[in-house]
Structure 1
Amino acid sequence: MEILLVGAGLSGAVIGRRLAEAGHRCRIIDARDHVGGNCFTERDADTGVMVHVYGPHIFHTDDAEVWEYVNGFSDFMPFQNRVKSTTQGAVYSLPVNLLTINQFFGKTMRPDEARAFIAAQADTSIADPQNFEEQALRLVGPALYEAFFKGYTEKQWGCSPTELPASILKRLPLRFNYDDNYFFHRFQGMPTDGYTPMIAAILDHPNITVELGTAYAPDMAGAADHVFWSGPLDGFFGYDLGRLGYRTLDFERFTHDGDYQGCAVMNYGDRDVPWTRITEHKHFSPWESPPGSVCYREYSRACGPDDIPYYPIRLVEEKALLGDYVARAEKTRGVTFVGRLGTYRYLDMDVTIREALDTADLFLDRAAGGGDMPAFAR
């Protein structure tokens, strides 16, 4: 078959590779001038630092098949994300762990003592937390909430924590030991030469053609037997029902001679500091030792029509509009919507790859059996 894949990021590359290996001809287009989507990395010419151009991407997964898959296209080096937070005039370890608790409260508690101490701090009158703030107060109490979560969340999402669902905070761990590894997955690492060569290797197949700087036009679908769309779901329909809400990021790039902050990620919890965090990219490749450094200050704001969407908002208004677009997509034949933008969900890289592999396998099964491919394969 002739397959058109819109987007040369992880979803398009992985689906395209799987279908190409099965003998289908895959045309992959991308409006940008590079492959990799927001995972794009490039080496800074002046400092030699491997820069995550659209913000840092750290690979972590419990999915052994996905880990084996990415290692088939790139060597990976071990990397654990150990985040710090500057708040109220001091630096602390994140996620909130026993060191954070002891340092913040000036204590030397053992795990069981800290657990009882935090339980006493927690607002137990909140039996069923209905929003982010209530969940935080129920989980850690007002002091830790004010220091590490409230200001950061207001900056990240541009609204009061009372407007956000409690489920957001449930993903953040609270630890009563000294483990400061931000993630808890079995497999964690970084591609040795960055993500761009890895994705380019996935795309390197004789049945795949890649056209960069090429925007999708509706008449392209007519030349294809099937389309996989990894662009914005609402964008496929010309945003004619309205735009789904996203947060975007602005990066203030600066360089430093030496080591600027001593870690890869430094959060800033105070509301009066306008940026959410500073990332120092040399620390994402600790096996390298460039003398200079490239850093990004990150600022979060509402996503406009010409901005790059990063985080789907998925509040009440967006969910209603999403339902309308999903219903419309399910009536559209010959197109499957994939990836973070195509399904309007925040997906980690490993989940994106898992869903891409499963989507490709479903397509091959349906093609062999003569069945229709659904609009959403998940």
Structure 2
Amino acid sequence: MTVLSALRLSRAPVAAFAAVGVTWGCFAAMAPVLKARAGVDDATFGLMLLGTALGLATTLYVAPRWDRGLGRWAMPLGTVLVAFAALGPGWAATPLALFLALTLMGATSGLTDVVMNARVSEIEARAARSLMNANHAMFSVAYAASALATGAMREAGWTPEQIFPAISAALLLLAPFQFMETARPEPPDPDAPTRLPVALIAVCSGIVLIAFMAESTVESWSALHIERTLNGGAAEGAFGPAMLGITMALGRFSGQVVAARFSEVGVIRIASALAVAGVLVAASAPSPGVAYLGFGLLGLGISVIGPMGLALAGRLATPRQRTAVIARVAVIGFLGFFLAPALMGLGSEAFGLRWAFAGVAVLLAVVWPLSRSAHAAPIRP
């Protein structure tokens, strides 16, 4: 299946992935401004980012009920909630206000994340096609575009009170494109297993968790690394997360083709090795240019790890349990998306940003032995 046909087939969740990407691309490029306005050190700023994890944790129980209750409205209404939540950081002038704003963003973004990944898995099962990489690639495209646009607005003198409402308006424009009919509930099967596959959820969640931890660390701290450690300007700092988004998009579009020919486990192993090399280059970079190279290699590597972990979970789960398994793997994985920046802040405060980034390489190396647990996963024909 070509990338364009995959995007057409899953056009409704594609719009949701784009909306979430726009939200966090803006936040990543605005991180230096928000940190300076709050007047906090690296460790405190990292702990404030835990607000997003706190909000996301609520979606483990809320998202399935939200999805069942609203059906085709669940995804677009989730994006509308994200749009309103995105206004918060623009007006948060104190550490507590920013923490609460990030908590709300994490809750609404996580709600939409679970629903849109479940929708993609549902379409994959119905069409017997791999679609995760193409959808996650659109997140990366939107993320990079948003980060670049935010950097340009910063250079033009726009304030947070102006930038975040502009982003919110863009999200509202994407919501109407996210309607799609959902599958009818399957009748109860007395022979179907009643317990969820804990081992499958644990392995796939671990892979996705590490991938999103690495991704979110670079998204939240790359601009600060370039501007503070390497003395770059606002536009140069914004290009750090943008480079990650661009290369992740390229990796995921390529992964859409690769996923049709090779096993998820094999691709995950190769990608994790590339990601380790990239983050080490970024950590030791003497200039912004070298850091961009490292972030680019990292983006190519981690681009496919998360989507392939989700696809592996959806393929190996039973049809009746697929949505529940995807929801748990996605929520656990996205917890890493918000926990990692907080841990990065503590590491930066204790050892400096360079060593904190080097710690990400150690984390990514864990993917290799973890993937051994899924070595028996069948190869796609």
The alignment's TM-score, normalised by the length of structure 2, stands at 0.28
Q: More helix per residue: 1 or 2? A: 2
